[in-house]
Structures are given as C-alpha cells and as structure tokens.
C-alpha cells in the first residue's frame, strides 16, 4: 500500500472515530438551546402568572389564559394548576383555550393528556360546542352553544365515537355531561335527558356524573 493510500486510510479511521463526538456535540447543543428556551418562561413569568390568577378561584377568565398561553405554554400553566386542590375545575377553561389555539382536536388532546385529572381534556370537549366570543367576555352562565339543542341531540350518540377520542371514550362521556349542562342552559333535568339518549347504561351513567 502506497504512502498516499495509507494516509487516506488513517484519515478515514480518524473521521469515523470523531463522528460520535460530533453527533454528541450537535445534540448536546440542541438540548442546551431547548433548555434555554424553557428557562426563558420560568421564574418571573411564572410568578406573575401565579399572582394574576390568585384571586379568581376556580374560574380564570379566558383572556388571561390566552395571554399566558403565549408566554408560558400550556404545560407550564398546568404545572401551576396541579398545585391547587381545584386543579380539575380550573383546567376546564385551559382546555377551551388549548382547542382554540391548536384548532385541531387530536393536537389539543395530545397537549392536555390526562393532566389535572382529565380537567383539561374535559375543557376540550366543552370547547367543541362553545361560542368563544362569549367565553372571552362572559361568565359561565352566559356561555352558549355552537349547535342547536336539536342538532346536539341528533349527534349526541356519536360524539364520543370519533377516532380522536377512541382511547378516551368514558372520559368523553363524562365531559359530554358537562356539555349537556350548558346546551340545556343549566337545566339539570334536561341535561340528564340528553344522557339518557345513550343506549349503553355505563355511558349514560358516566354522562350523568358530568352533569353534577
């Protein structure tokens, strides 16, 4: 083997040896950049968020959640909520905002996961039927539905059979109990009537638990 060939071979071996180091360096830099981005939304922004929501109890206005969604992101907000005993109720409105921001049911479900005991997920299902203009400016008693009662009743049986909800079927039925309440304009008897439309008794019972 000539001198040139031996030198080329040595450089090839050296290059292979350095490849893992280069890969580690690149991925390490990516992790550091990602961590820096995460660090950017902590400390003062989180404290400001905690201070802002402190006086609202279980109902935090949509416009506040929208503002901090852009600053903190939903996961950091849920981290804050999970330190509150009313996390589930508080997270309902955040679920509305997640659906509003993603405009995609599957992405919204993936974002919320099962955090706050499915409270965020329940908010997504509620958000499918709410008028967001009313949500932003009104109170819970002023929420209205995107669909008529007749249309809701016609589609009620199939709502939780959507592909995106296939792994959350009974959680969905509970959330639909919440939906039934505002479609029924907070008439409990009428909302229970919607739940009774479900042919599966377990589904109907689970729906009813969402009414109360």
Does position 22 have pLDDT exceeding 70, yes or no?
no
Residue environment code for 105-119, b if the CB has 16+ CB neighbours within 10 A, otherwise e: beebbebbeebbebb
Check residue 84 and give left, alpha or beta (phi > 0: left; psi -120 to 50: alpha): beta
Q: What is the pLDDT of residue 23?
A: 33
- At 145 the three-state DSSP class reads strand
pLDDT class of 14 with cuts at 50, 70, 90: very low
Dihedral of CA 193/198/199/203: which sign?
Answer: negative
- Mean pLDDT throughout 125-150? 66
- At 130 the three-state DSSP class reads strand
Cα-flanking dihedrals φ and ψ of residue 93, to 5°? -65, -35
CA 46/CA 23 separation, integer angstroms: 34
Q: What is the pLDDT of residue 69?
A: 95
CA 180/CA 185 separation, integer angstroms: 8
CA 135/CA 63 separation, integer angstroms: 9
pLDDT class of 145 with cuts at 50, 70, 90: low
Higher pLDDT, 185 or 9: 185
Does position 173 have pLDDT exceeding 70, yes or no?
yes
């Amino acid at each position: 083997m000539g001198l040139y060939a031996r030198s080329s071979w040595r450089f090839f071996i050296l290059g292979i040896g350095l490849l893992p180091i280069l890969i580690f360096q690149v991925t390490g830099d990516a992790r550091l950049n990602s961590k820096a981005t995460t660090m950017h939304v902590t400390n003062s922004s989180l404290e400001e968020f905690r201070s802002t929501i402190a006086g609202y109890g279980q109902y935090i206005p949509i416009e506040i959640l929208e503002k901090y969604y852009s600053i903190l992101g939903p996961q950091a907000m849920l981290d804050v909520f999970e330190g509150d005993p009313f996390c589930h109720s508080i997270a309902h409105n955040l679920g509305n905002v997640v659906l509003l921001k993603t405009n995609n049911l599957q992405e919204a479900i993936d974002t919320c996961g099962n955090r706050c005991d499915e409270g965020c997920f329940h908010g997504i299902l509620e958000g499918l039927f709410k008028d967001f203009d009313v949500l932003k400016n009104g109170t819970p008693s002023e929420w209205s539905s995107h669909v008529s009662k007749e249309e809701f009743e016609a589609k009620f049986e199939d709502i939780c059979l959507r592909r995106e909800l296939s792994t959350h079927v009974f959680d969905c039925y509970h959330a639909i109990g919440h939906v039934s309440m505002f479609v029924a304009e907070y008439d409990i008897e009428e909302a229970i009537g919607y739940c009774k439309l479900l042919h599966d008794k377990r589904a109907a019972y689970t729906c009813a638990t969402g009414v109360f």
